[in-house]
A and B are shown apart, each in its own frame.
Chain A
């Protein structure tokens, strides 16, 4: 598999404002729930100086696991546009992501873990 994703480093596509970047798209390629957690990947680290300002900010915020909702609040961009930006970074492999089950409620095992976690607080 190719080392680089299918865009040119320094390509203008990563240097435009969020709404211009979304090019009229209102949905990300990936349907990311608000609480989706993302983490900057090794590839994300390696492109920090080559991506646009907004993407760089997001990657830096994601040095520790952080949710889509938190990113939206920190960069002060509405959820929808943030989802597109983050979705593109996930699709490019610059962010690793993890979502809960989008369609269903959490299963018994997960609920039990949450219960234990809350009890331990």
Chain B
């Protein structure tokens, strides 16, 4: 990256100790799987929505099957919430994002510097989470799989879900209720613990 053309920018961009440290977690999964509910159950603010737009010259055939050489723009809306931690010196952001592949331009940005991801799964529509699982696996992003219990009863055992997703045994998987604050907190705890284990292993191996 080249130097910004402002003489004062180098010092202006130095991290300020007065400002809390931001950390983030990505909440991914298929349509209507409970991402916003999950974020809202623990966020200290009403979940907010922000939009990102990507414009690019489209090559060949897009997802809708239209052949085109013109510019296309994709808009992705993300819900997010925040949790102030510690001595207010740490702020955790939760970004809920749709799982379709055409939104991956946003994920590339989202996972940079992220602690990891919670993949929400509805066992009645298991395949909806495949793109998310593929994405995080391929990029070695720490993730956990939270099976959202929509139907009160457990439809499929966790073993069956793990098998169907062919997820390795070291990826934590558990049932959750996205509406419950404590369940959401435990899901986040499991993710951070998992990320810690992986980071320690990586640092130890280095």
Contacts and interface: CB of A to CB of B under 8 A. Distances in A.
* Most B Cβ at <10 Å: residue of A29, A35, A120: A35
Contacts of A99: 15, 22, 113
Contacts, number: 174
B115 A114 contact: yes
Given A69-B80, A114-B90, A114-B192, A106 B23 contact: yes
A97 B15 contact: yes
Interface in B104-135: 109-110, 112-116
A33 B18 contact: no
A34 B49 CA distance: 12
A102 B112 contact: yes
* Most A Cβ at <10 Å: residue of B9, B20, B50, B114: B50
A115 B113 contact: no
How many chain B residues sit at the interface, stated as a range, is 35 or more
Interface residues of A, number: 52
A57 to B, nearest CB: 15
A54 interface: no
B199 A39 contact: no
B36 to A, nearest CB: 13
Interface in A1-41: 1, 5-6, 29-31, 33-39
A33 B112 contact: yes
B102 interface: no
Contact of A6 (B6, B93, B114, B142): B6
Contacts of B78: 69
B149 interface: no
B161 interface: no
B57 to A, nearest CB: 14
Contacts of B20: 37, 65, 98
Contacts of A34: 24, 50, 93, 95, 109-110
A93 B110 CA distance: 26
A87 to B, nearest CB: 8
18 contacts: A30-B4, A30-B9, A33-B112, A34-B24, A67-B91, A78-B51, A78-B53, A90-B12, A96-B16, A96-B19, A105-B115, A106-B23, A117-B85, A118-B185, A118-B189, A118-B192, A119-B189, A121-B85
